[in-house]
Structure 1
């Protein structure tokens, strides 16, 4: 990737943005109503719902024509035997990508204590995945030290094709983190996790839909999310524009956007299309003020 103008980078990122959803009862219909089949949909895994909810949602969407990335949370799988069954099921549905986090199950369901354990097993078996994502943490993990998460990226890099960052809000901090990762000679392309323009009340509503125990875990892990998305100074438009400016520097290796929708896919898709239209117009008819303007 060569150096790009920020507006060109913004168009590229928005066109290729993918959406993260939670496997609730209504999400398949919501995706079908609002999300074009050109958009990749990633499906989370949560201990309170079980891996079946993830697999069912992912295979249903895949058979309906969406590019799908199920989250195969290592600590939710019992071991190699179950992993082989899951891989076969996803292959039959035409799924060709997976995201492998460690997961929140405590204690683990079986043999896998971390993502690396699963990735090593996956590498020794036949599977359909041409793309395998691993986690990155520009915003600190709530329970794991930063040095440990960076070391984990190094350990997992040989088994993956890209890194997906957790949700981040500070473009300057993101740039510093990217530089740190590259200094460690982790060269995998990076998809930056960004929050869609979802209202705080809708985030709270989403938390209640995923179950009492899971909601408490969600709120504990994401307590800063509510405050920062709802803060007067935060704008998804402005933040994504700053990510695009960073991505214009090829040394940072920012290859895409991973948008956290909290299942408000209609709101997020309307936002993406609007921002994309403005960015395309700016690319064709520059204002002379240095790039994309906030909407």
Structure 2
């Protein structure tokens, strides 16, 4: 039963690459099922043209590019129109809108302002992802985060926007499952891709987790990895988190969780190999 539940959870997994990881993308493409969603991240100092070049490469491999757009880096509506036009002209049909960690360059402070804009309404994207934060968003009140997601859900219902949620990565299933139930009880119905870390070192994951505001599940990572020596030598696998999610979703047909999304943190090829092997063989009792 666990293996069947895991296979269903992995049936439509997605993965991230940075515009600088084209060599890894070329190798990973041989492992990924055709049509797999590959999210091209927005990096400081990397311009949109380079991201779109990476997206074109994703598509040439028979995969589906999803381009990140960090709205705080866009100064005004005219620049937003140019950005979305360039994305569409590159043949990209899918977006992930994030606020971004940089100070606002101009008019946009959050993704709601873009979602409500006429500029976006003129672009018929097939899907638009927005961020979810099961363990909180650093520096932002939890109530404000929940309210913003409720407004996005209303936009999807009333305006037909093809929205879905991609959550921040975490190291335990329980915080995600609790957050999903709370969102559902609030009337939110957006499908959710749950962020999982890829197969990189626990030390690197701890560093990213602290900087990204991942809270309660960091204790799980520390417990799993143990000593400082293990932190340096192990490779983390999100097996237990994936199993916990798969069991819960299998037992709850009303769950909003539809798939998982991998944040490889540089380990694109090992993560792709592990995810595709998991589909075929199950993940058993493998742990970090």
Size of the aligned set, in residue pairs, is: 265
User: Residue 33 in 1 paired to residue 33 in 2?
Assistant: no
Residue equivalent to 1:87: 84
Q: Distance in 1 between matches of 2:240 and 2:188?
A: 28
Alignment CA distance shift 1:78-1:226 (3 Å): same
Residue equivalent to 2:212: 221
Deviations 1:216-254 (A, max 9, x none): x99733687988656535751121111111222122211
Alignment CA distance shift 1:276-1:230 (3 Å): farther
| Residue from 177, 180, 205 that aligns with 1:178 | 180
Alignment CA distance shift 1:124-1:100 (3 Å): closer
Residue equivalent to 1:101: 98
Residue equivalent to 2:5: 9
Q: Distance in 2 between matches of 1:122 and 1:231?
A: 48
> Taking structure 1 as the reference length, what is the TM-score of the superposition?
0.79
Larger deviation: 15-24 or 57-66? 57-66
Q: Distance in 2 between matches of 1:124 and 1:189?
A: 20
Residue equivalent to 2:246: 244
Residue equivalent to 1:266: 269
> Taking structure 2 as the reference length, what is the TM-score of the superposition?
0.81
**Correspondence 1:139-178 to 2 at 5 A:** 139-157=135-153, 158=155, 159-178=161-180
Q: Is the Cα–Cα contact under 8 Å of residues 97 and 111 in structure 2 kept in the other structure?
A: yes
Q: Is the Cα–Cα contact under 8 Å of residues 46 and 104 in structure 1 kept in the other structure?
A: no
Deviations 1:27-60 (A, max 9, x none): 1121111233432110121334344443332233
Q: Distance in 2 between matches of 1:71 and 1:152?
A: 19
Q: Distance in 2 between matches of 1:254 and 1:43?
A: 22
Residue equivalent to 1:288: none
CA RMSD of superposed structures (Å):
2.7
Residue equivalent to 1:191: 193
Alignment CA distance shift 1:56-1:143 (3 Å): farther
Q: Distance in 1 between matches of 2:172 and 2:119?
A: 35
Alignment CA distance shift 1:122-1:199 (3 Å): farther
User: Residue 21 in 1 paired to residue 23 in 2?
Assistant: no
Residue equivalent to 1:60: 57
Alignment CA distance shift 1:122-1:134 (3 Å): farther
Q: Is the Cα–Cα contact under 8 Å of residues 134 and 160 in structure 1 kept in the other structure?
A: no
Q: Distance in 2 between matches of 1:252 and 1:59?
A: 34
Alignment CA distance shift 1:7-1:122 (3 Å): farther
Q: Distance in 2 between matches of 1:220 and 1:193?
A: 16
| Residue from 275, 281, 294 that aligns with 2:285 | 294
Residue equivalent to 1:282: none
Q: Is the Cα–Cα contact under 8 Å of residues 51 and 76 in structure 1 kept in the other structure?
A: no
- Where does the alignment leave 5 or more consecutive residues of structure 1 unmatched? 208-216, 280-291
Alignment CA distance shift 1:222-1:59 (3 Å): farther
Alignment CA distance shift 1:122-1:245 (3 Å): farther
User: Residue 121 in 1 paired to residue 109 in 2?
Assistant: no
User: Residue 46 in 1 paired to residue 43 in 2?
Assistant: yes
Residue equivalent to 1:136: 132
Q: Is the Cα–Cα contact under 8 Å of residues 34 and 269 in structure 1 kept in the other structure?
A: yes
